[in-house]
Amino acid sequence: MVKGLCVKPIKGDAVLFWSMGLDGQSDPNSLHGGCEVLSGEKWSATKWMRQKTTF
């Protein structure tokens, strides 16, 4: 088992985290994974948010 944060799912809630620092470098603390579904269903969605527009 890996040390870290564990979030218990509650219907209607969301988890938000930044995967990069303000310098644009990946944040190793943002590595994440999900547990297997033992019963029922697991739904997920991804929303990408950007700090600035890039052309």
Give the tens place of pLDDT for each residue, 29-41.
888 888 888 999 8
Q: What is the pTM of this model?
A: 0.51
pLDDT of 54 above 70: no
7: Cβ contacts below 8 Å, ≥ 6 apart: 15
pLDDT class for 2, splitting at 50, 70, 90?
low
Ramachandran category for residue 11: left, alpha or beta (phi over 0 → left; psi -120 to 50 → alpha): beta
- Cα distances from 1 to residues 19, 25, 44, in angstroms, run 21, 26, 23
pLDDT of 52 above 80: no
